[in-house]
Structure formats: structure tokens, C-alpha cells
Amino acid sequence: MKHLVRHCLILLAGCLLLATSAAAQTWPTRPVRIVVPFAAGGPADNYARFLAQRLPELLGQSFVVENRPGAGAIIGTELVAKAPADGHTLLLMSNTHTVNETLVAAKPYALMRDFVGVAPINYSDLVLVAHPALPAHSLPQLLALARQRPGKLNYASSGTGTPYHMAGELFKSLSGTYLVHIPYRGSSGARTDVLGGQVDLMFDAVTTMAEQVKSGKVRAIATTGKQRSAVLPDVPTVHEAGVANYEATIWLGLMAPRGTPQAVVDRLNEAVGKIAGQPDVREAWSRQGATAMVMSPAEFDRYLQGDIAKWARVIQTAHIKAE
């Protein structure tokens, strides 16, 4: 009897494996939606649209980008969490999501419970920029000004918990300065008000702010990576300019609702990795200030867990609160 049960279980497992494999081969059967829980015009939106142009060549279906910003990325993320786990709805996510796991306790989802990691996309450094009217041309000058005027200088971000917000909070913590955080619904609005002089400062992705720096519309104070940015080589890092051990980046990835067939996840991971590995893509991204990231789903899962733990330590040590 035990032998018969074991034989049936083996047959059932084989059938499930065949069914999963067949599902992966036929997927996608209709257009795939990439939900971007951020406003249009920022890095997440830009790279989602880049993938949406390239993925159909490899997977034979169209990919459609849908922006659902709001509540620090929670609105769009919840939408994907509730979507069918069939591989036709994906989440374009960033380190906003790993930050929110600690920063925002009352969320309608838990990242590693309700989603599965598909693939990372790329990462880029940020650049701290100031409106040209601000009387600070270097990081030491900015630090001196901030200490002379505690609470008088402000910085914009694309919302609570976003990389731009956390870069500012980490800067405040390590530099011992007090800057007022002004959150926006998306990076475009924040960027517009810094360019217009309504806000003093902003940490923004090099990929989207470098051209504004080069045209003189904003002043670059420092970049946030371990080394100087190849896109802005004359701009020092925050670390070398006076705030020791400072580092902040923005990275992007794809996730899917938990329960999405593993074979579908693997096929999508392979396609994203293939795009990120193409020489013309790497060169184009490098010119923009972005570096491709290629990992297996298991490696990406470990990366996500590590980033959640990293930001939990920062948030708890610096006593950062959601606004």
C-alpha cells in the first residue's frame, strides 16, 4: 500500500512538473503589464519602458507600462500583490520597497511574503544638487551653511521611503545637520521645484539629473557612490568631500505576485538578464550612469533579504520615522 501511495505521489509530481513547464512555454498568452508604483519621468519609469520595448523580441508578447504612484509606492505595489499570479502582471520595484519593510509597518502587503523576486535590472549613484541661488558651491560650504541655519534648508524627494528620501536622512544622520524633508508624489515634481528654486536641495539619480547639472540649471555638490561617477567625474563623492562612510544608490528590479509559476519566473529572469548583458545596453546604461545587475531568482531573493536588513539597521539607528 505504501509503495502504491509513493508511486502515485511520484506520478502526481511529474504531472505538476509537466504542467508547469507547459505553462512556461505558452506564457505569455496576452500582453504583460509592468506596474510602476512611481510617477512618470523618473528612473523606474524610464527603465520599465526600456524593458517593455526589448522584452517582446524575446518573449513574443507586448509589455505595457502602467504608472500607479502614491503613498511611497504602496498603492501600485498593493495592486500587483492582489493580481493573479500568472506572470501577466509584474512590479517594477526599487530599494523604496526594501526600505518600506521597516519604515512603514502598516502596509497591506509584506514584500517577501506576497511577492517573488524575478530579476534585478540596474543600479546608479545619486547626485546631491542645489539650486544655483543657494550660496554653497561645495559640500564643506553646504555643511557650514546647514549648521549656521539648522532647519532652514530643505530637500525634496519623490516621497517617504524612496531612495532620494533615505539618501537625505542618511546624510543628515552622518553629517549632524538638520535639513527639512519635503516629500512629493513623484520625482518629477520634486525635480521641477528644485530647478525652479522653490526647494534648495535634492538627491536625485545621476541618470536623470546629469544633463541638468551639465546645462547649469542646478549645481552638483557631490555624488553618493563609493567612487566618482563616470558621468560626472569632476564632482567629488560625499565621502571624499567630508561625510565619512556615506554611500547611497538607487537600484531597480522586477517582482511578481507570490505563486507565479517558477518556470515563468525563470524564463522572465533569463530574458531580463539577456537584455542587461547585451553590449549595446551596457554601454548605453553606462553613459547614463547606470550599471547592469544580473542575478538568478535565488540570488536576487538573497539580495532583497540583505537590503531589507541593511535599511532596517539604518532606520533604527538614525530613528527615521515615516511622515
Please tell me whether residues 118 and 191 are part of one structural domain. no
Please tell me whether residues 96 and 134 are part of one structural domain. no
Q: What is the pTM (predicted TM-score) of this model?
A: 0.86
Please tell me whether residues 133 and 227 are part of one structural domain. yes
Supply the pLDDT for residue 2. 57
Supply the pLDDT for residue 317. 82
- Eight-class DSSP state of 202: E
Round to whole Å and give the CA distance between 320 and 323. 9
All residues at 6 or more sequence positions from 86 whose CB lies less than 8 Å from its CB, including other chains = 27, 260, 261, 264
Among 2-16, 70-84, 93-107, 115-129, which stretch is predicted with the lowest mean pLDDT?
Answer: 2-16
What average pLDDT score do residues 34-45 get? 94
Element housing 61 (H / E)? none
**Domain assignment of residue 281, yes or no:** yes
Supply the pLDDT for residue 80. 98
All residues at 6 or more sequence positions from 178 whose CB lies less than 8 Å from its CB, including other chains = 146, 150, 151, 172
- Percent of the chain at pLDDT above 70? 92
What average pLDDT score do residues 258-272 get? 98
Retrieve residue 255's grid coordinates: 517582482
For residue 161, give its domain range: 125-241
Nearest in space to 45 (alpha carbons), one of 53, 33, 36: 36
Helices 95-103 and 163-175: angle between axes, nearest 10 degrees? 60
9 pLDDT tier (thresholds 50, 70, 90): low
Query: Does residue 88 have a pLDDT over 60?
Result: yes
Q: Is 211 exposed, middle or buried (0-12, 13-18, 19+ CB in 10 A)?
A: exposed
Query: Does residue 246 have a pLDDT over 90?
Result: yes
pLDDT tens string 104-120 = 989 999 999 999 999 99
Round to whole Å and give the CA distance between 1 and 8. 11
Round to whole Å and give the CA distance between 174 and 319. 13
Among 14-23, 36-45, 185-194, which stretch is predicted with the lowest mean pLDDT?
Answer: 14-23
Retrieve residue 278's grid coordinates: 547585451
16 pLDDT tier (thresholds 50, 70, 90): very low
Round to whole Å and give the CA distance between 203 and 246. 13
CA distances, 91 to each of 25, 84, 193 (Å): 21, 12, 28
Supply the pLDDT for residue 3. 57
Supply the pLDDT for residue 18. 47
Of 219, 241, 263, at which residue does a domain stop? 241
Round to whole Å and give the CA distance between 99 and 313. 10
The CATH number that applies at residue 286 is 3.40.190.150
The CATH number that applies at residue 168 is 3.40.190.10
- The stretches of 115-183 forming alpha helices (DSSP H) are 139-148, 163-175
Query: Does residue 43 have a pLDDT over 70?
Result: yes
Please tell me whether residues 113 and 257 are part of one structural domain. yes
Number of folded domains that form the chain: 2
What average pLDDT score do residues 59-77 get? 95
Please tell me whether residues 112 and 141 are part of one structural domain. no
Three-state DSSP at 107 gives coil
pLDDT tens string 130-181 = 999 999 999 999 999 999 999 999 999 998 889 999 999 999 999 999 999 9
Query: Does residue 240 have a pLDDT over 50?
Result: yes
Three-state DSSP at 122 gives strand
Query: Does residue 82 have a pLDDT over 50?
Result: yes
